[in-house]
């Protein structure tokens, strides 16, 4: 015991004496818990696997089940309703209050704003998706864009989805830019994932040259592997035939690997897949969808590798904390999968687009060289003239071994890997290991403030700032217990949950509460609600109090004025 205490004291002393670390937060899009190699997947992710091997893997880290709310919670350290993104970036504020304004609240501060105030340089590459005005008509419309919320430099998209070959709302700093007429970045073949990786490398390298004595914060928010399924042919070729065996076979292989890795407790009963591969009519198309999805993840991992190589070359690697996580579980949305098959034209049938043309549409009408963009069952994804998602069957595989998908608060919707890598800061006893504490996106702000020695403000620009909701993960980095004084909560589209210790109360809208002992049943297969009504009542009361405090409104959201109109007619 004395030896352990001595080790912990030495670790804390070393940590407090070290220079403040650079901090990189990497967020990927629409990926499931088991997609990475180090979490059980067959997709080649050697660079993230290497970070896990030299760092720490969290097994019970959580997101908010959807892109906008996750980004709001991650950036602010608040629950998404407190940050103004109770649903998405659609504006319901007039109808149901400030929790649904669809724009990042000024009663919240971002990690970039806090760390910039603490002497950090701040950079972002990637998907923003917390501003209602993605298509700004004036400078005033950019009040919630990255450079207005604490970032020094930005390259990415304001909107939440779009073509990987011709992204819409692409912005450099505060100005829209066409990927094909950008004087600062003109690769031979434009691919958005590569562009984000390249700019992340550029930002850290430029920082080393211009401000070597200042720490930096980098937020790298990939859109991979969100639909549409777009990837480079060289990456797709690596996975040709890999998924021909179908959903069940791939999921079974993942389960076996997860057991070997120690990620799957033998007491847990994996969630059954809802789709039967034998009944799939177009297996070649279904297999191709997962091949392209895997290629998208592969390309993202290659970019992480280039970023790590740049950090090492710049002498920045040892004292940089890298946090990798995902915004929600696998996506079962049917985007581009319904309707009649549309064959590819033999030659362009539309006029080519000018290089300076700014893509206005999430789903482009055509490619740059004049091919119509195609959707529909059987359209083989990958090229720029397709716009398809991978569907519910493969989403179930991505979420192995958990239930449900993006949107829902069961484990399949909210469970994300978290990899923490920091050579100079992680205790020797935790490197290469796993941590089992429940943790959440709201903890990232608290962790960054803690490590940066920054001051979280009580006020900003005349607004009273809401206090942080999360706790710092710094104790876990040196092998200590994580003390969380309050439960964790979720709500999205009426899907609800509360996690208190090992117990989780969860509801899929419009259903009732279910109760699970997560330690013995992480896969939520044995509902104990009927057997423990008192616990259900107590935890439901916790959730109700939280919902009232953060401004949750019943789903579906309603316009109070519509009810007023009905009542006036009755009178």
Q: How many Cβ atoms sit within 10 Å of the Cβ of residue 529?
A: 18
3-state secondary structure of 167: coil
How is 420-485 classified by DSSP, letter by letter?
EE-TTTS-TTTTTEEE---EETHHHHHHHHHHHTPPPPSEETTEEPPPP-S---HHHHTTPPP---
Closest C-alpha among 180, 191, 226 to residue 71? 226
Which value, in Å, is the radius of gyration of the alpha carbons in the chain? 23
**67, 289, 331, 448: which one is catalytic?**
67
3-state secondary structure of 229: coil
Token representation of residue 87: 């649903």
Please give the C-alpha separations between residue 350 and each of 304, 353, 386, in angstroms, as whole numbers.
37, 9, 15
Token representation of residue 523: 């896969």
Taking the C-alpha atoms of residue 487 and residue 232, their distance in angstroms, rounded to an integer, is 43
Taking the C-alpha atoms of residue 103 and residue 132, their distance in angstroms, rounded to an integer, is 5
State how beta strands 56-62 and 433-435 pair. parallel
Question: Are the beta carbons of 142 and 174 closer than 8 angstroms?
Answer: yes
The packing angle between helices 192-210 and 283-313, to 10°, is 10
Q: Which residues of 479-494 are buried (b: 16+ CB within 10 A; e: fewer)?
A: beebebeebbbbbbbb
> Which helix (H) or strand (E) element contains residue 506?
strand 503-507
Tell me if residue 38 is catalytic.
Answer: no
Residue 307 CA from chain centroid, whole number:
19
Tell me if residue 67 is catalytic.
Answer: yes
Question: Are the beta carbons of 43 and 33 closer than 8 angstroms?
Answer: no
Token representation of residue 356: 């300076």
CB within 8 Å of 377: residues ≥ 6 apart: 282, 285, 337, 338, 339, 340, 341
**38, 81, 87, 129: which one is catalytic?**
129
CB within 8 Å of 496: residues ≥ 6 apart: 409, 490, 506, 507, 509, 543, 547
Cα torsion at 123, 126, 131, 132 (round to 10°)?
160
Tell the residue number behind the tokens 């998209």, with chain if given: 157
Taking the C-alpha atoms of residue 37 and residue 257, their distance in angstroms, rounded to an integer, is 9
318: left (phi over 0), alpha (psi -120 to 50) or beta: alpha
Tell the residue number behind the tokens 């993840």, with chain if given: 297
Token representation of residue 308: 């790590």
Tell the residue number behind the tokens 């105030």, with chain if given: 117
Q: Which residue numbers are catalytic? A: 67, 129
């Amino acid at each position: 015991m004395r030896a352990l205490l001595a080790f912990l004291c030495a670790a804390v002393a070393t940590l407090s004496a070290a220079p403040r670390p650079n901090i990189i937060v990497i967020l990927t899009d629409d990926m499931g818990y088991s997609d990475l190699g180090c979490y059980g997947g067959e997709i080649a992710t050697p660079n993230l696997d290497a970070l896990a091997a030299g760092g720490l893997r969290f097994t019970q880290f959580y997101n908010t089940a959807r892109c906008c709310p996750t980004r709001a919670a991650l950036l602010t350290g608040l629950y998404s309703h407190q940050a103004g993104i109770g649903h998405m970036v659609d504006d319901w504020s007039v109808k149901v209050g400030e929790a649904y304004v669809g724009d990042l609240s000024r009663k919240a501060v971002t990690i970039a704003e806090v760390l910039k105030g603490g002497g950090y340089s701040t950079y972002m590459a990637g998907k923003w998706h917390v501003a209602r005005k993605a298509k700004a008509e004036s400078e005033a419309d950019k009040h919630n864009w990255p450079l207005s919320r604490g970032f020094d430099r930005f390259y990415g998209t304001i909107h939440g989805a779009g073509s990987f070959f011709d992204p819409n709302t692409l912005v450099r700093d505060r100005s829209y830019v066409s990927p094909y007429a950008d004087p600062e970045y003109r690769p031979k073949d434009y691919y958005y994932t590569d562009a984000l990786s390249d700019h992340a490398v550029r930002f850290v390298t430029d920082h080393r040259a211009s401000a070597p004595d200042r720490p930096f914060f980098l937020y790298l928010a990939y859109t991979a592997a969100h639909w549409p399924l777009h990837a480079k042919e060289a990456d797709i070729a690596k996975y040709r035939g890999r998924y021909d065996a179908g959903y069940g076979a791939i999921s079974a292989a993942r389960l076996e690997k997860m057991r070997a890795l120690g990620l799957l407790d033998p007491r847990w009963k994996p969630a059954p897949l809802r789709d039967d591969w034998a009944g799939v009519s177009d297996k070649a198309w279904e297999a191709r969808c997962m091949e392209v999805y895997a290629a998208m993840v592969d390309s993202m991992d290659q970019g992480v590798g280039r970023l790590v190589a740049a950090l090492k070359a710049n002498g920045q690697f040892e004292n940089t904390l890298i946090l990798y996580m995902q915004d929600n579980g696998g996506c079962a949305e049917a985007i581009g999968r319904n309707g009649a098959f549309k064959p590819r034209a033999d030659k362009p049938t539309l006029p080519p687009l000018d290089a300076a043309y700014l893509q206005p549409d999430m789903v482009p009408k055509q490619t740059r060289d004049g091919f119509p963009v195609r959707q529909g069952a059987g359209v083989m994804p990958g090229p720029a003239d397709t716009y398809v998602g991978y569907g519910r069957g493969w989403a179930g595989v991505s979420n192995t071994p958990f239930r449900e998908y993006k949107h829902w608060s069961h484990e399949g919707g909210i469970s994300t890997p978290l990899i923490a890598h920091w050579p100079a800061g992680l205790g020797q006893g935790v490197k290469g290991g796993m941590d089992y504490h429940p943790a959440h996106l709201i903890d990232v702000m608290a962790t960054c403030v803690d490590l940066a020695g920054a001051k979280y403000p009580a006020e900003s620009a005349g607004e009273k700032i809401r206090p942080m909701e999360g706790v710092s993960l710094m104790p876990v980095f040196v092998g200590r217990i994580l003390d969380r004084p309050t439960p964790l909560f979720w709500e999205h589209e009426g899907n609800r949950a509360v996690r208190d210790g090992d117990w989780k109360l969860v509801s899929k809208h419009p259903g009732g509460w279910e109760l699970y002992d997560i330690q013995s049943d992480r896969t939520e297969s044995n509902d104990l609600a009927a057997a423990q009504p008192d616990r259900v009542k107590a935890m439901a009361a916790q959730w109700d109090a939280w919902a009232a405090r953060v401004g949750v409104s019943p789903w579906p959201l309603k316009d109070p004025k519509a009810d007023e109109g009905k009542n006036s007619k009755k009178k």
